[in-house]
Homo-oligomer: A and B are copies of this chain.
Amino acid sequence: MDGLEPALPGPAARAAYLYHVSELSQAEVAARLGVSRATVHNLLREARETGLVRVSFDPHLLGRADQARDLATAYGLEQAVVLPSDDPEAALRAAAGMVPELVPQGATLGVAWGETVYRLAQRLPQMRRPDLTIVQMVGSMASPYGFNAEDCSTLIAARLGAACVNLHAPAVLSDPSLVARLAREPIIARQLDTLARCDAALFAVGLASRESHIVQSGVADLDTLADYHGRGAAGVVAGRFIDGEGRPMSGSLDGRLIGIPPEGLLRIPRRIVVTFGAARADALAAALRGGFATHLVTDAAAAEAMAPRLPVSPRDAGP
């Protein structure tokens, strides 16, 4: 795990150093390296893509600092970041850029899966953090989106240069007794045990609607959805329905899911939630009320749509 060095990209590193640190122009770098300018350009692109050089962005000074503070105080978050909504793609990239900074040194990071998490994962910067371990928090399902459950954790681990522990089990079974037996299997038990020891978790809040990945991927069928929805389901967190107050709901899925249980999730000390869009504002607000997040990354649209629902005095700041 330490022996296989990832084949250092010598010329790219040299070019990147001369360009970014020595502040030579691409033409000057080309002259020193004895190649063409175009090649230098390609080397620099490579250096960026492999994470050798990185442009990072301080999210705190993004203008929406006031909204972020309001959210953080209202829901007792350690930290909240509100990104501009005008360009969803950019917001996702910005979120991807800051998530790694929210994961502490040496942490074991549990990740859920879903469209948001997957799209975030795709945009994570390439890093080298062998100190991290990524573990899949929710069992797998074949997914209609072109990604499947394992891909989320695997991709995140690959991007972050971290180790990866996948949960080799389906997300849902038809019979609680089978779940119980499976959970006693040593391989699965060990993985569930790792989950209980996570230092951090990364997940999104899903919708309790037929567009939700939990429905699309078949974890819940339409009847199940209708049942939970009829009883007030406000959203989905790590594969579990929650009500408007963020309480995990019981129902026909009880005992049939393989993955971290809500109380286990809540025991993880750092819980990073990434969720965008006004459409998800209600679900997000419910999850926050349930205390699922300690760190939140969202966008202005969601933040504004949540504002009327702030639990207490939204702003008591001075003039």
Check: A31 CB closer than 8 A to any chain B CB.
no
Q: Assuming A63-B10, A84-B17, A105-B105, is B93 touching A128 (CB within 8 A)?
A: no
Q: Tell me which of B21, B52, B63, B90 contacts A93 (CB under 8 A).
A: B21
B53 x A57 contact (CB < 8 A): yes
Copies of this chain: 2
Task: Please tell me if A263 contacts chain B, counting CB pairs below 8 Å.
Answer: no
CB of B105 within 8 A of CB of A63, answer no
A14 touches B63 (CB 8 A): yes
Tell me the bound Cα distance from A57 to B9 in angstroms.
14
Other-chain contact of A21, B10, B14, B18, B57 (Cβ < 8 Å): B57
The docked-state distance in angstroms from the alpha carbon of A22 to that of B13 is 26
Q: A17 with B52: in contact, given A8-B63, A63-B10 (CB under 8 Å)?
A: no
Q: Are A55 and B17 within 8 A (Cβ)?
A: no
Interface string of A46-81 (1 = CB under 8 A from B): 000001111111101111010000000000000000
Shortest distance from the beta carbon of A134 to any chain B beta carbon, whole Å: 20
A87 located at the interface, meaning its Cβ lies under 8 Å from any Cβ of chain B in the complex = yes
A168 on interface, CB distance cutoff 8 Å: no
A22's partner among B58, B87, B104 (CB-CB below 8 A) is B87
The interface centre, meaning the residue of A13, A14, A60, A84 with most chain B CB atoms within 10 A of its CB, is A13
Q: A234 an interface residue at 8 Å Cβ cutoff?
A: no
> Given A17-B94, A90-B22, A105-B105, is A52 in contact with B63 using a C-beta cutoff of 8 Å?
no
Which B residues are in CB contact (< 8 Å) with A175?
Answer: none
- Count of interface residues, chain A, beta-carbon cutoff 8 Å: 36
Report B-chain residues with C-beta under 8 Å of the C-beta of A171: none
The residue among A17, A52, A61, A89 with the most chain B CB atoms within 10 A of its own CB is A61
Which residues of A, 73-123, contact B by the 8 Å Cβ criterion?
84, 87, 89-90, 93-94, 97, 104-105
List of B residues within 8 angstroms of A23 by Cβ:
90
Check B90–A55 contact: CB distance below 8 A: no
Docked CA distance A243–B165 (Å): 50
Q: How many angstroms from the CA of A68 to the CA of B9 in the assembled complex?
A: 16
> Which A residues form the contact surface with B (CB < 8 A)?
5, 8-10, 13-14, 16-18, 20-23, 51-58, 60-63, 65, 84, 87, 89-90, 93-94, 97, 104-105, 128
Given contact pairs A5-B65, A21-B57, A52-B58, a sample of 10 additional A-B residue pairs in the complex whose CB atoms are under 8 Å apart = A9-B61, A10-B63, A17-B57, A17-B90, A17-B94, A20-B55, A21-B90, A21-B94, A22-B90, A55-B56
A-B contact pairs, 22 of them (CB 8 A): A5-B65, A9-B61, A10-B63, A13-B61, A14-B63, A14-B84, A16-B57, A17-B57, A17-B62, A17-B90, A21-B87, A21-B90, A23-B90, A51-B58, A52-B58, A52-B61, A53-B55, A54-B56, A55-B55, A55-B56, A56-B56, A105-B105
